A and B are shown apart, each in its own frame.
Chain A
Amino acid sequence: QKEVEQDPGPLSVPEGAIVSLNCTYSNSAFQYFMWYRQYSRKGPELLMYTYSSGNKEDGRFTAQVDKSSKYISLFIRDSQPSDSATYLCATSTGYQKVTFGTGTKLQVIP
């Protein structure tokens, strides 16, 4: 079993839709949770960062962490074609030992 599971998609949604991206993890020691966005043939860029459980909102993006169920989510409101990318969840116990999901490819159709 992988430490971090993520549906690879692809996920296609119409412009303006609410997008829900999810990951599950198995290691209860994970304390840090990140979402990265990766455009084709580019390096990942940090979108959201959460320590421990809870919600965090930044503009159209909301990250949720539920440590009791080992479930992390990223919601994108009013999705735009420019949001089309691969979204990687990432977790860490600390000391920069980061485990990444496989990424979910999202396509927002105009």
Chain B
Amino acid sequence: GAVVSQHPSRVICKSGTSVKIECRSLDFQATTMFWYRQFPKQSLMLMATSNEGSKATYEQGVEKDKFLINHASLTLSTLTVTSAHPEDSSFYICSAPGGAQETQYFGPGTRLLVL
């Protein structure tokens, strides 16, 4: 099946710094990618939809200036958490549309810990 990778898998940073997370589709092209955040014992929450060649679409309540998304190519989307704070600590997962309608291929996730 299609593979989506994420890098890094885990990152620890100091409060106030910025962190960049990469999401790549390894064997297919993705004009659209999705970014989710998952807190412990909570469901996946869609943060934004990344569109190649255009601006990302953010969900209500997600600060676009804090969570910068760039879809640089048909196989790469990046999420930058700017001026990270401890409350940004979470599991961030990206995905791309799957073979069947409404399904998605998920990346392995990135665990962010902000100290």
B62-115 CB contacts (< 8 Å) to partner A: 91, 93, 95, 97-98, 100-109, 111
**In the complex, residue of chain B having the shortest beta-carbon distance to the beta carbon of A3:** B43
Contacts of B49 in A (CB 8 A): 96
Which of A41, A44, A94, A102 makes the CB contact (< 8 A) with B42?
A102
Query: Are A43 and B106 in contact, CB atoms less than 8 angstroms apart?
Result: yes
Q: How large is the interface on B (under 10, 10 to 19, 20 to 34, 35 or more residues)?
A: 20 to 34
> Do A46 and B98 form a contact, CB below 8 Å, given A98-B46, A101-B43, A102-B42?
yes
A-B contact pairs, 11 of them (CB 8 A): A6-B43, A8-B41, A41-B109, A42-B109, A43-B93, A44-B93, A45-B106, A51-B101, A96-B34, A96-B49, A100-B43
Query: Are B97 and A4 in contact, CB atoms less than 8 angstroms apart?
Result: no
Contacts of B91 in A (CB 8 A): 41
Which of A32, A34, A43 makes the CB contact (< 8 A) with B109?
A43
Contacts of B95 in A (CB 8 A): 43
The DSSP consensus for interface residues of chain A is strand
A49 at interface (Cβ–Cβ under 8 A)? yes
**In the complex, residue of chain B having the shortest beta-carbon distance to the beta carbon of A86:** B41
Cα of A8 to Cα of B43 in the assembled complex, Å: 10
Q: Which residues of A contact B (CB under 8 A)?
A: 4, 6, 8, 32, 34, 36, 41-46, 49, 51, 88, 92, 94, 96-98, 100-103
Contacts of B102 in A (CB 8 A): 32, 34, 49, 92, 94, 96, 98
Contacts of A8 in B (CB 8 A): 41
B15 at interface (Cβ–Cβ under 8 A)? no
B11 at interface (Cβ–Cβ under 8 A)? no
> Do A96 and B32 form a contact, CB below 8 Å, given A41-B111, A44-B106, A46-B104?
yes
Nearest-neighbour CB distance to chain B for A31, whole angstroms, equals 8
**In the complex, residue of chain A having the shortest beta-carbon distance to the beta carbon of B10:** A41
**In the complex, residue of chain A having the shortest beta-carbon distance to the beta carbon of B94:** A43
Cα of A95 to Cα of B34 in the assembled complex, Å: 12
